[in-house]
Amino acid sequence: MALADVLPAVNATLNGTCAVLLLAGRVAIANERPAVHRRLMVSAFVVSCVFLVSYLVRVALSGTHRYPGVGLAKATYLFVLSTHMVLAIAVVPLVLTALWHGYKGRIEQHRKVARWTFPIWLYVSVTGVLVYLMLYQWVPKA
């Protein structure tokens, strides 16, 4: 099996792992465990960076893929994909800003940015898994 054939599943796993880390980080801070929160959120960032590298390698090896379905299935796929892509781009400066404020100990600024960053980042991570499932696992029969 070629690397390009394995990378989509690896990428979905990285997205899913990021989502779990984000949720665990949110729970940690809600339970007033800032050191655990910090480690989980930095881990989510690292996993996202590994995903980005892996995704770019996959695209370089095999290009983009067209969804083979039609009708409502294709419309749903295109909606999920387009919102995923737009928000994936938008979340990058938010994540970097939230991490920077947290690193510098600017907790109030961190909270203000994280209030927006967390749901967007979580959405991007979850829809990354959905895009994989729709494109590689739930492919409609012709």
Evaluate whether residue 7 is within a structural domain. Answer: yes
| Helical (H) or strand (E) element with 4 | helix 3-30
Q: Is residue 118 part of a domain?
A: yes
What's the average model confidence in pLDDT over 112-122? 98
**In this model, does residue 142 exceed pLDDT 80?**
no
Cβ-Cβ contacts under 8 Å for 37 (sequence gap 6 or more)? 25, 28, 29
- 142 located within any domain: no
Q: How far apart are CA 29 and CA 56, in angstroms?
A: 32
- What tens digit of pLDDT does each residue of 39-54 get? 999 999 999 999 999 9
**pLDDT value at position 27?**
98
> What is d(CA 127, CA 81) in angstroms, rounded to the nearest whole number?
8
Banded model confidence at residue 140, pLDDT cuts 50, 70, 90: low
Mean pLDDT of 65-94: 94
Q: What is the Cα–Cα distance from 129 to 37, expressed in whole angstroms?
A: 23
Number of domains in the chain: 1
Mean pLDDT of the chain: 95
- Whether 75 is covered by a domain: the verdict is yes
Residue 101 domain-assigned (yes or no): yes
Query: Range of 128's domain?
Result: 3-137
